[in-house]
């Protein structure tokens, strides 16, 4: 009986670790998106250096919004690592 509980715990922990790693794949999306946004902002500043202040400000807001999905996945990963909800369900 004790052995079974240990195995169940081990499976939950291992699967959570895999889940945390898999969740972080979502980091690819914001990376590509933000890189593209910053590249376009650089082009815009190169074409019109006088508008660099407004361009930079808008770019940062856009980057922050694009970053949301990455942050969500990060939170899922952190939750699985430090505050695992599935371990409590084992009883």
From 17-25, 28-36, 38-46, 74-82, give the range in contact with other proteins by CB under 8 A: 74-82
Half-sphere exposure of 15 (CA within 13 A, CB side): 10
When asked if residue 72 is in the footprint of other proteins (CB under 8 A), the reply is yes
When asked if residue 82 is in the footprint of other proteins (CB under 8 A), the reply is yes
CA atoms of 49 and 47, how far apart (whole Å):
6
Half-sphere exposure of 41 (CA within 13 A, CB side): 18
Binding mask 24-63 for other proteins (x = CB under 8 A): ---------------------------------x--xx--
CA atoms of 60 and 85, how far apart (whole Å):
34
Q: Which residues bind other proteins (CB under 8 A)?
A: 57, 60-61, 64-65, 67-68, 71-72, 74-75, 78, 82
């Amino acid at each position: 009986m004790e052995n079974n509980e240990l195995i169940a715990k081990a499976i939950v922990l291992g699967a959570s670790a895999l889940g945390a790693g898999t969740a972080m794949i979502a980091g690819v999306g914001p990376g590509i998106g933000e890189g593209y946004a910053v590249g376009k902002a650089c082009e815009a500043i190169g074409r019109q250096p006088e508008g660099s202040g407004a361009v930079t400000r808008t770019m940062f807001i856009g980057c922050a919004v694009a970053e949301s999905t990455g942050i969500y996945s990060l939170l899922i990963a952190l939750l699985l690592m430090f505050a695992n909800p599935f371990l409590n369900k084992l009883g």
